[in-house]
């Protein structure tokens, strides 16, 4: 059984809260150490929720982390567009409430890549946890 099954969802996102680039509003100041994990957060959310639109992603992250992590538009949309260009995300445009809404969902490649990236991130969290606070057990 994989490592991720032992981590409660809330606790995992609390950990992810620290793993984001400088464009995210966050508590930790030395965010450069964790640059690049925003894509994994997005992919994880899409894996769980199927398809989501930009605003929904920001609100979901905010809700899961109890308002402690706020992904700004300046970080979110470039990340979504890059993932789409890489072929990891697909886009669906629908008319909702008098306006066009762009939904993002994982492609087949994206779904496989999410598993790899999550495993990588979990390894990273575990290693950092061992280094920083070896006494804490999951």
Contact track, another protein, 28-57, x by CB under 8 A: -------------------------xxxx-
Query: CB of 44 within 8 A of CB of 115?
Result: no
Of 4 and 101, nearer to another protein (C-beta) is 101
Contact of 50 with 58, CB cutoff 8 Å: no
In whole angstroms, what is the distance from residue 94 CA to residue 115 CA? Answer: 28
CB of 53 to another protein, least distance (A): 7
Q: What residues numbered 57-76 form the site for another protein, per CB under 8 A?
A: 59, 72-74
In the complex, the smallest distance separating the C-beta of residue 137 from another protein, rounded to whole angstroms, is 39
Q: Could you list the beta-strand ranges (E) of 1-138.
A: 51-53, 89-96, 99-106
Closest distance to another protein from the beta carbon of 81 (Å)? 6
Give the closest residue to 76 by CA, choosing from 127, 123, 14, 25. 25
The site that binds another protein (CB under 8 A) totals a number of residues, namely 26
Residues 81-110 that bind another protein (CB under 8 A): 81-82, 84-87, 91-93, 96-102
Supply the DSSP string of 77-113, one letter for each residue.
HHHHHHHHHTTSEEEEEEEETTEEEEEEEE-HHHHHH
Which chain residues interact with another protein by CB under 8 A? 53-56, 59, 72-74, 77-78, 81-82, 84-87, 91-93, 96-102
């Amino acid at each position: 059984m994989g490592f991720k099954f032992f981590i409660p969802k809330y606790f995992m996102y609390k950990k992810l809260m620290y793993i984001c680039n400088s464009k995210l509003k966050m508590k930790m100041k030395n965010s450069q150490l964790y640059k690049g994990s925003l894509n994994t957060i997005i992919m994880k959310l899409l894996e769980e929720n199927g398809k989501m639109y930009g605003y929904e992603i920001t609100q979901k992250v905010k809700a899961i982390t109890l308002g402690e992590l706020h992904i700004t538009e300046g970080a979110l949309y470039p990340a979504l567009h890059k993932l789409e260009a890489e072929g990891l995300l697909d886009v669906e445009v629908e008319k909702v409430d008098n306006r066009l809404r762009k939904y993002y969902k994982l492609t087949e490649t994206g779904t496989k890549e999410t598993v790899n990236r999550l495993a990588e991130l979990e390894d990273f969290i575990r290693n950092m946890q061992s280094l920083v606070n070896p006494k804490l057990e999951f």
